[in-house]
Every structure is written in C-alpha cells, then in structure tokens.
C-alpha cells in the first residue's frame, strides 16, 4: 500500500491517466491548426503551460517519448512537415523535466531513456536526481530504441538485434534498481555535533558483473523520495511483453480495438504470477487520441479540419514510416499491402496498424485516414459523455488500467479534455476529485518499494 495517502484504509482503484507531452500535438496536422502553439521549438514555456493545464485536471503524468537521432531525412516531404514523433529539435527529456519540476508540484514526469545506448549507471543517476528534484514524481520509460538509425550516433553501423537489445534491457533494469537501492533512507545523519555526515553501514556496493555491464556502485545519489522512480515500458514484441511482466510498473500499448486490448491485457497480466507479482503492480495504458467537442458536431469539425491539413503524399509517407516499409508505389485505393518481413526496430505500432488494415479490409488511403488521427493506436471522437463512455467501457471491461492520452492540437485539446472530460470521469467515480498524494506512485496506486536496509 502506498504510504502517506492521508485517506486511511484501502483505497479505491482509479483509472490512471497520462498524456504525451509533445507541444506539436499528436495529429500530423495539429501544429498547423490555428489553436496550436505559434512556435514550439526549444520553448520551455509551451511545456510549462501544458504541464500546468494537466495539473489543473489532476492528470497523473506527463510523458515524453524520445530518441537519439534526427529521422526522416530520406523522406523530404515528411521531414519538412515534421511528424509529431520525429522530434528533430527537442530538449533531452530528463533535463527538461528537471526544469518543469520547478514549475509544477503534483504531476508525474515520465521521461524516456534507452538501455541500448545508455549505461545503467547514468540512467540510475539521472532518474534518481529527477526524483529528488521533483519530490517523488519521476518515471523512466525504458525503451530499447525503435529507430535503427540512432545506432550511428553511438559508434555502431547497425542497430542491435531484438534478442540482444532485450537481454541488455533486462540486465540494465536489474542494475538500475540495484543502484537505486544503494543507500538506506537514513544514511545521511549529517550530525554537526558528532561530525558524522553519513553512516558507512547504510550503503552497499552493487558489485554487478554480467554479460553486458560491469558496475561496482554505489550510486552517488541518496535514496529517492519514491524509493525508486516508476518504471514504464512500451515494447509490444514477445520479449517486450515478457520484460514488462517481469519488471514494468506502467506499460504503454497500441491496441486499436477493445477486443485486442483485452487480449493483450489478459496476456501480460497472466505472465506476472510466475515473477511473483500481483497483476495490479503493472498498469497497462493504451494510447488514446481524443477528439473532444462540446457537442459531437464540434468534435467532427475539429477532426475534419485536421485531416484536411495533410496532403495524400504526406500521409502515405507517414504511413510508410509507421509500418516500416515504403508504400509510395502502392495504389492509393488498392488494398493495404502486408509487411515484407520483420523489421529490426519498432514493431508495436506498425503491427497494430497492419492488423487493423487486414481486419477491416482497408485500402492504403483508408488506412492512413484511420491512422493519422490516432498515430496507429486507438482514437475516440465525440462529446464529453461519449468520450467518457468509451473510456469507462475499456476500463471496466479489463481492456486497460487507464490511458496514455494523445492530444491532437496543443494546448487546445489538452485544455478541452481537462475542462470537459475530466469532470465527467470524476462524476462517474473513475477519477479522484484531487491528487491522492504527492508522489507519482501514490497517484498511480503503486506501492513504495521497501528500503532494503529496513528489512
Ligand atoms: C506509446 C508508445 C511510446 C513509445 N515511445 C518510444 C520512445 O519514446 N522511444 C523509442 O525508442 N521507442 C518507443 N516506443 C517503442 C517501444 O518502446 C520499443 O522500444 C520498440 O517498439 C521496440 O521494441 P518492441 O520490438 O518490443 O516493440 C514506444 C511505443 C509505444 C507504444
């Protein structure tokens, strides 16, 4: 049970809600809409504004996806148009969150870092620091890196294969957690009278020697407010699911239908008992793009307007990027081609898109029209009651524990969600009336890991 909830006794489970914090918005045409930020590149102010709006709506977390390279330079139209997930010029997310932590007080700050190209010591140190700077609001989205080209910025010609990436990820996660457990909570008495700054009996070495890493430890950061930052993942491959069951506390998904989400939910939760973990120790949060209006007509109008901001050639280029193979020569109104083979990089979104196209017999045009608004995940469009109905249906139907929201136009869509949908979710008892604690763990309903020196 989380500590310090101030509510006493068992707490009701609540839908977990986060949002993807890209200032360009989640729709490819979002940044061109008149209600979007006028400029976003390296603008701290945009990030502060979104975090504060989300905090007014008691959202549990702001999430920043990330990579270590500039993409799509081989697709000039897409490169010029800047699709929301490409990020040619963005702040390094942990650095950015260190700044945002000083402008917010409740919202969780979940940053992405890759185990493929970063060392566990650096990851442990950065996120432990962020947890201190934010008073217990840090989360790490562990990725193995989706984009093969990132390898070329780290002294490699090729991206590591999936098996090796996930072996490294598993080992890295264990080492990071061991490093976070370096110091006892009370290791630094800093007693002026006796001259004792720290207690040498309250620290331990990590002494790890494995296949991929050798780390002596200890970490040079004191035990953090959450004990350990919350670990998120987003891999949907077999290896990705297994790692999430083993050690993830949040999992982002891409399911595009309730049935698919229910299947994945049961699959991943079903893998947890063999690791001695209760199902509720991992919160599954499918991505959800929300097009909300005060009325259904207003939501439809926003949706149509955004779709009209994207030329078909750009849309095909974007779809090619998502599925991982080139669709330029495929007839627009012909059937969506199947994948020519398994790709080395990300599979999650691409596979979900191809499954949807096959399931629904969509053309190339039909596929991108479906994919553009949702980024390949799920989308919902309507008035606040319709949006809340869909969210409640998935949540109570064991399709998810909450959602990772994608907002098509920023900051308009986030503000609309907070003002229109959050009160409806609260009225239904799906969301708390206020933050339930000061740490991300408390707000997500996750336990604070025990201090190993006390047990
Ligand atoms: C909602 C969501 C967000 C993701 N964010 C990132 C990211 O920021 N950086 C990244 O490299 N991969 C990201 N991914 C991809 C996965 O984390 C994973 O690294 C990739 O899909 C390869 O692993 P897999 O083969 O297990 O899917 C994301 C996936 C989803 C569904």
Ligand 1 atom with the shortest distance to the CA of 150: 11
Residue nearest to atom 1 of ligand 1 (CA): 252
Across the range 421-432, mean pLDDT stands at 98
Give the pLDDT of residue 10: 56
Residue 34 CB neighbours (<10 A): 8
Give the pLDDT of residue 343: 59
Query: What share of the chain in percent tops pLDDT 70?
Result: 96
In a domain, 333, yes or no: no
Task: Report the C-alpha gap between 111 and 117 in whole angstroms.
Answer: 15
Q: What angle do CA 50, 66, 152 make, to 5 degrees?
A: 155
Across the range 244-266, mean pLDDT stands at 95
Residue nearest to atom 23 of ligand 1 (CA): 235
Distance 20 CA to ligand 1 centre (A): 13
Query: In testing the pocket of ligand 1, which one of 20, 235, 240, 322 has its CB within 8 Å of the most ligand atoms?
Result: 235
Kindly list the protein residues whose Cβ atom lies closer than 6 A to any atom of ligand 1: 65-67, 112, 143-146, 162, 234-237, 239-240, 252, 254, 287, 346-349, 404
In a domain, 442, yes or no: yes
Distance 284 CA to ligand 1 centre (A): 14
| Local confidence band at 360 (pLDDT 50, 70, 90 cut-offs) | very high
In a domain, 29, yes or no: yes
User: What does the pLDDT look like over 202-239, one tens digit per residue?
Assistant: 999 999 999 999 999 999 999 999 999 999 999 888 99
Whether 3 shows a pLDDT value over 60: the answer reads no
Residue 273 CB neighbours (<10 A): 11
Distance 259 CA to ligand 1 centre (A): 22
Across the range 123-143, mean pLDDT stands at 98
In a domain, 318, yes or no: no
| Local confidence band at 340 (pLDDT 50, 70, 90 cut-offs) | confident
Tokens found for residue 157 = 């010609």
At residue 162, φ and ψ (nearest 5 deg) are: -60, -40
User: What does the pLDDT look like over 385-399, one tens digit per residue?
Assistant: 999 999 999 999 999
Query: What share of the chain in percent tops pLDDT 90?
Result: 80
Ligand 1 atom with the shortest distance to the CA of 112: 8
In a domain, 313, yes or no: no
Q: Which of 56-65, 170-179, 352-361 has the lowest mean pLDDT?
A: 352-361
Taking a C-beta distance cutoff of 8 angstroms, is the pair 388, 425 a contact? yes
In a domain, 409, yes or no: yes
Distance 78 CA to ligand 1 centre (A): 20
Q: Give the per-residue SS3 of the chain.
A: CCCCCCCCCCCCCCCEEEEECCCCCCCCCHHHCCCECCCCCCCHHHHHHHHHHHHHCCCCEEEECCCCCCCCCCCHHHHHHCCCCCCCCCCCHHHHHHHHCCCCCCCEEEEEEECCCCCHHHHHHHHHHHHHHCCCCEEEEEECCCCHHHHHHCCCCCCCCHHHHHHHHHHHHHHHHHHHCCECCCCCCCECCCCECCCHHHECCCCEECCCCEECCCCCCCCECCECCEEEECCCCHHHHHHHHHHCCEEEECCCCHHHHHHHHHHHHHCCHHHCCCHHHCEEEEEEEEEECCCHHHHHHHHHHHHHCCCHHHHHHHHHHHHCCCCCCCCCCCECCCCCCCCCCCCHHHHHHHHHHHHHCCEHHHHHHHHHHHCCCEEEEECHHHHHHHHHHHHHCCCCCEEEEECCCCEHHHHHHHHHHHHHHHHCCCCCCCCCCCCHHHHHCCCCCCCHHHC
Residue nearest to atom 4 of ligand 1 (CA): 234
Taking a C-beta distance cutoff of 8 angstroms, is the pair 3, 448 a contact? yes
In a domain, 108, yes or no: yes
Ligand 1 atom with the shortest distance to the CA of 145: 11
pLDDT averaged over every residue in the chain: 93
Residue nearest to atom 21 of ligand 1 (CA): 346
Distance 234 CA to ligand 1 centre (A): 5
Across the range 111-127, mean pLDDT stands at 98
In a domain, 311, yes or no: no
Which residues, listed in sequence order, are joined to residue 391 by a DSSP beta bridge?
Answer: none
C-alpha pair distances (Å), 90 with each of 65, 69, 332, 374: 11, 11, 33, 22
Give the pLDDT of residue 370: 87
Nearest to 390 by CA among 285, 251, 290: 290
Give the pLDDT of residue 7: 39
Across the range 92-101, mean pLDDT stands at 98
Ligand 1 atom with the shortest distance to the CA of 144: 19
Query: In testing the pocket of ligand 1, which one of 69, 144, 146, 151 has its CB within 8 Å of the most ligand atoms?
Result: 146
Give the pLDDT of residue 90: 94
Taking a C-beta distance cutoff of 8 angstroms, is the pair 203, 182 a contact? yes
Give the pLDDT of residue 371: 86
Residue 27: CATH number of its domain: 3.20.20.30
Could you list the residue range(s) of the whole structural domain that residue 89 is in? 16-74+84-303+376-449
User: What does the pLDDT look like over 406-415, one tens digit per residue?
Assistant: 999 999 999 9
How many domains are contained in the chain?
A: 1
Ligand 1 atom with the shortest distance to the CA of 239: 26
Ligand 1 atom with the shortest distance to the CA of 404: 1
Give the pLDDT of residue 232: 98
Which residues, listed in sequence order, are joined to residue 396 by a DSSP beta bridge?
Answer: none
């Amino acid at each position: 049970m989380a500590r310090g909830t101030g509510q006493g006794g068992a707490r009701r489970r609540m839908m977990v809600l986060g949002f993807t914090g890209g200032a360009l918005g989640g729709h490819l045409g979002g940044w061109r809409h008149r209600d979007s930020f006028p400029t976003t590149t390296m603008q701290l102010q945009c990030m502060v504004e979104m975090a504060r709006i989300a905090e007014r709506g008691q959202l549990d977390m702001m999430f920043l996806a990330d990579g270590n390279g500039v993409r799509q330079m081989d697709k000039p139209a897409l490169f010029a148009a800047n699709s929301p997930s490409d990020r040619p010029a963005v702040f390094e997310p942990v650095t950015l969150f260190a700044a945002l932590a000083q402008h917010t007080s409740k919202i969780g700050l979940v940053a992405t870092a890759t185990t493929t190209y970063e060392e566990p010591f650096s990851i442990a140190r950065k996120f432990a620091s962020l947890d201190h700077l934010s008073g217990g609001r840090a989360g790490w989205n562990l990725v193995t890196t989706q984009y093969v080209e990132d390898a070329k910025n780290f002294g490699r010609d090729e991206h590591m294969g999936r098996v090796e990436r996930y072996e490294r990820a598993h080992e890295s996660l264990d080492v990071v957690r061991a490093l976070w457990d370096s110091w006892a909570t009370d290791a630094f008495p800093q007693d002026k009278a006796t001259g004792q700054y720290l207690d040498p009996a309250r620290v331990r070495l990590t002494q790890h020697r494995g296949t991929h890493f050798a780390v002596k430890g200890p970490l040079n950061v004191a035990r953090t407010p959450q004990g350990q930052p919350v670990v998120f993942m987003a891999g949907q491959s077999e290896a990705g699911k297994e790692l999430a069951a083993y050690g993830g506390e949040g999992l982002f998904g891409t399911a595009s239908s309730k049935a698919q989400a229910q299947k994945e939910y049961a699959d991943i939760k079903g893998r947890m008992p063999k690791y001695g973990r209760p199902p509720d120790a991992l919160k599954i949060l499918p991505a959800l793009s929300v097009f909300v209006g005060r009325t259904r007509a207003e939501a439809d109008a926003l949706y149509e307007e955004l779709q009209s901001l994207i030329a078909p050639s750009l849309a095909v280029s974007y779809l090619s990027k998502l599925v991982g193979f080139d669709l330029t020569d495929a007839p627009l109104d012909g059937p969506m081609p199947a994948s020519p083979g398994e790709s080395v990089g990300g599979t999650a979104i691409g596979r979900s898109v191809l499954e949807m196209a096959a399931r629904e017999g969509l053309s190339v045009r039909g596929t991108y029209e479906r994919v553009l608004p949702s980024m390949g995940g799920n989308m919902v469009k309507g008035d606040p009651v319709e949006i809340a109905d869909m969210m409640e249906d998935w949540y109570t139907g064991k399709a998810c524990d909450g959602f990772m929201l994608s907002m098509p136009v920023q900051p308009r869509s986030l503000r609309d969600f907070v003002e229109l949908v959050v009160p409806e979710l609260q009225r239904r008892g799906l969301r708390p009336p206020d933050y339930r604690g000061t740490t991300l763990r408390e707000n997500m309903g996750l336990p604070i890991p025990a201090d190993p020196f006390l047990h």
